[in-house]
Amino acid sequence: MSETGTESQKKLMVFKKKELPQAAETRPLAVAWKVLVVDDDEQIHILTREVLQDFVFEGRPLLLISAYSGQEAQQLLKQHLDAAVVLLDVVMETRHAGLEVVKFIRTELGSRQVRILLRTGQAGEFPEEKIFEEYDINSFLEKTDLTSRRLKSVLKTALRAHRDICEIDQARIREVELRRAADAANVAKSNFLHMMSHELRTPLQGTKGPLEEFKTQFALFSGIRKLHTLIRSLADDALRAQFRSALTEVQTEVVEIASQGLQSVEHLLGLVEDILDFARIEAGKLQLFPSAQAVQPVIHAVIDTVRPLAEQKGLRLEVRSTAGLTVMADEKRLKQILFNLLGNAIKFTSQGSISLTAFPEGNQALFCVEDTGCGIPDEKQEMIFGLFEQADNSATRSAGGTGLGLPITRELVRKQGGEIRLQSVFGKGSVFSFTLPLASPDLQQS
């Protein structure tokens, strides 16, 4: 600047110099903090360098970069995007050149990390309060009041803030990267589970067919029919009876072995289907097709499936439902919900009874599955709805399962507009209840 008054004001900034320390053993310093000094007065640059020549913050020295105009500052900032602090004059080639640099940093460069310390010798023309309101600066310094100690103190504060902001930004970047990696891993996991489940289901279905034939059609096999013909052709009654008895024993053993194998295959298919549902839920691809469903036929179909399991353990199976009760639900998934809850009740009940009730409650239907089993401790009642969780991973492992049944059940209930709840007393039993919306009267009639 050429104005005499301005020159004299700038000269008022005086730094008291301390005695230089004696030469010490030199050690390599860490990467320097970049500080851009922007002022059109050469004397300001010289004084700033003298004051800050030995300045070190957190083991790092300063690298002072000089710019003598707002335009030059903008060019240098493009080259030094990692600048930590800008010591910025206001009045240079224009009266607002410094403020234009502030806009450039915050708007065009989009930088919120660099700390801007505004130094001006004409504070009266640029009121501090107004500057802070209109411009994103970090400190307002009047050259006439600026001492060496004050400059160093403000600079340390600015560098500390710059460091903290950079660390926060880096943490956010790492968080985003980790989230993306986790999302990619989840997608890969879901795809893998989906692919492997299909690969497992195909041979299991292939195994299921022959076992079903052995169980239900063994007596009709051509070889067995030929044996019966040969036995009938025997003249000796005693020998014929002996062969018939032996053949009956073979048939009984084959059917028993086939039944056991079929149970194992059905169990494996159930686990595979759970994994498939889990993969569909995680991928957001679980499709439901709700329609008006009469509740009693669905309940009877499920009860017919689970009754043999209850009878094998000597458990009473009780069912009560309101006649004509109709809900909006996906029939297949409603059966799955009931089968999961009844299957769990049977699995964890050694004696007593299992009951299923269904009745209207307001504009919803309330289903309750109650058992007299082992019950669930209070602190683990929410945990069992978590993926791969069981209430007791030691005592109940003999019951088998993936721990996916209840999380999938809860998801199926929620996706159909209902909620699932649990009431349990450890050692006495549990009640799992869930709701589903009632079908409207016109849908029930159709």
First to last CA, the chain: 90
Question: At 132, is the pLDDT very low, low, confident or very high (cuts 50, 70, 90)?
Answer: low
For all residues of the chain together, what is the average pLDDT?
84
- For the chain, what is the total number of helices (H) and then of strands (E)? 12, 13
Residue at token pair 């059966």: 335
Q: Which of 141, 138, 136, 65 is nearest to 103 (CA)?
A: 136
Report which listed range, 199-208, 307-316, 393-402, is most confident: 307-316
Low-confidence winner among 9-18, 151-160, 183-192, 314-323 (lowest mean pLDDT): 9-18
For 278-305, write each residue's pLDDT tens digit. Answer: 777 777 778 899 999 999 999 999 999 8
Residue 69 CA to residue 117 CA, distance in Å, equals 16
Q: Which of 424, 420, 425, 426 is nearest to 405 (CA)?
A: 420
Q: Which of 87, 43, 41 is nearest to 62 (CA)?
A: 87
Residue 92 CA to residue 45 CA, distance in Å, equals 14
User: Count of residues for the chain?
Assistant: 446
Instruction: Please state the rounded mean pLDDT for residues 259-271.
Output: 83
Most distant pair of Cα atoms in the chain: their distance: 141
Cβ partners under 8 Å of residue 434, min gap 6: 337, 341, 366, 367, 409, 413, 418, 419, 420, 421
In 307-395, which ranges are E strands? 316-321, 326-329, 353-361, 364-371
CATH of 291-445, one of 3.40.190.10, 1.10.150.20, 3.30.565.10, 3.30.160.270: 3.30.565.10
CATH of 4-15+28-146, one of 2.40.10.10, 3.40.50.10680, 1.10.230.10, 3.40.50.2300: 3.40.50.2300
For 381-394, write each residue's pLDDT tens digit. Answer: 878 877 555 555 44
Q: Which phi and psi (to 5°) does residue 359 adopt?
A: -155, 160
Question: Which pTM was predicted?
Answer: 0.53
Strand partners, 60: 57
For 224-260, write each residue's pLDDT tens digit. Answer: 999 999 999 999 999 999 999 999 999 999 999 998 8
Residue 236 CA to residue 228 CA, distance in Å, equals 15
pLDDT at 9 over 50: no
Q: Which of 40, 48, 122, 123 is nearest to 85 (CA)?
A: 48
CB 45 within 8 A of CB 96: no
- Tell me the DSSP string of 73-123: HHHHHHH-TT--EEEE-S-SSSTTHHHHHHHIIIIIS--SSSEEEEEES-G
For 180-231, write each residue's pLDDT tens digit. Answer: 988 888 777 777 777 777 777 778 888 888 899 988 898 889 999 999 999 9
pLDDT at 124 over 70: no
**Domain ranges (residues) in the chain:** 4-15+28-146, 180-283, 291-445
Alpha helices in 135-236 (DSSP H): 148-217, 222-232
Instruction: Please state the rounded mean pLDDT for residues 21-48.
Output: 78
